Amino acid sequence: MVSVFIRSLIYNALFYLNLVFWVLLGLPTYAMPRWGIVWIAKNWGKTSIWLMRIVCNTRVEYRGLEKIPSGPLLAAAKHQSAWETFALLQFFDQPLYILKRELLWLPFFGWYLSKADMIGVDRNAGGRSLLKMAKRAAEEVRRGRQLIIFPEGTRRAVGAPPDYKAGVSQIYVGCGVTCIPIALNSGLFWPRRSFMRYPGTLVVEFLDPIPPGLKRDEFTARVSTAIEDASNRLIEAGRAEQVRLMGFSAPVPAAQQS
């Protein structure tokens, strides 16, 4: 456990140093088209993943890459950690996120998000703001972008009951494109609200695409079932591996259990 603690400290220090490096390297992209900052973001993500492998012995396995359609797309992913917010970027040519509006106000980092033309939403503004967000998301996707969305709206702890929001089905209907569900077990290795980073094999699995044209309720049931069943399977396998590696599985703080 001491070794895991020390490795976690080292990784977190290197993670933020790596972030500063790519933020500075990306300054010229302010004068470039959007692809410039997307290239910076993808490489930041890749190097952060590489550092986690070297320092924390956290390997990453990607499954089902051949299932990712080309062109405009809705990618609906399980959200257990900050890890997937940067790790999934590498698989899409024109990635798009919907995020808290406040993130756009952060110095440098927020400016990069604005440059990448991400969608900021005021979560306290009510239904009108959400409708406006959904309309813009649909417009961006129809222009050829890939919207990476977390249907539960926020990070959920490993083992927490699922909480899929109605907004994802509204966006799916509005976009009129294929949706690819994404399961993962990242919360075992990068738990939310914790600086600990655990060894093992973090798995991301791209599942069978869901075609456009389903009704909202039908889509919600289908995407939630696919993501939850696969994520639970990946979590079970990840916990077993952690027990083999460390003699215990990554603990879930009491505040996260529900």
pLDDT of 241: 94
d(CA 95, CA 35): 10
Angle of the 167-175 helix axis to the 216-246 helix axis, nearest 10: 120
pLDDT mean across residues, the chain: 91
Residue type (1 letter), 229 = D
DSSP-derived letter for residue 68 is P
pLDDT band with cut points at 50, 70 and 90 for residue 257? very low
Q: Report the candidate in 9, 159, 13 with the shortest Cα–Cα distance to residue 80.
A: 159
Which of 74-78, 127-131, 217-221 comes out lowest in average pLDDT? Answer: 127-131
Q: Is the pLDDT of residue 256 over 50?
A: no
The answer, as to whether pTM is greater than 0.85, is yes
Q: What is the Cα–Cα distance from 41 to 162, expressed in whole angstroms?
A: 29
Q: Which long-range contacts (CB under 8 A, 24 or more apart) does 100-109 make?
A: 108/23, 109/23
SS3 25: helix
Look at residue 90 in the predicted model and tell me its pLDDT.
96
Give the torsion sign (CA, 39, 44, 45, 50): positive
Q: Tell me which of 238 and 130 has the higher pLDDT.
A: 238
Q: Strand pairing partners for 147?
A: 74, 96
Q: Whole-angstrom Cα distance, residue 207 to residue 49?
A: 22
Amino acid 125: pLDDT = 63
The alpha carbons of the chain give a radius of gyration, in whole angstroms, of 18
Using CB atoms within 10 Å of the CB of residue 129, give its burial: 0 to 12 exposed, 13 to 18 middle, 19+ buried.
middle
Sequence-ordered strand ranges (E) for the chain: 58-63, 73-77, 95-100, 119-121, 146-149, 179-184, 200-206
Residue 255: pLDDT over 50: no
pLDDT, position 131: 80
Instruction: Average the pLDDT over each of 102-106, 146-150, 183-187, 203-207 and give the range with the smallest value.
Output: 102-106
* Arithmetic mean of pLDDT, 84-113: 90
Considering only residues 218 and 30, tell me which one the structure prediction assigns the higher pLDDT. Answer: 218
DSSP state of 197: -
- Burial class from Cβ neighbours inside 10 Å (0-12, 13-18, 19+) for residue 230 reads buried
The pLDDT tens digits for 77-96 are: 999 999 999 999 999 999 99
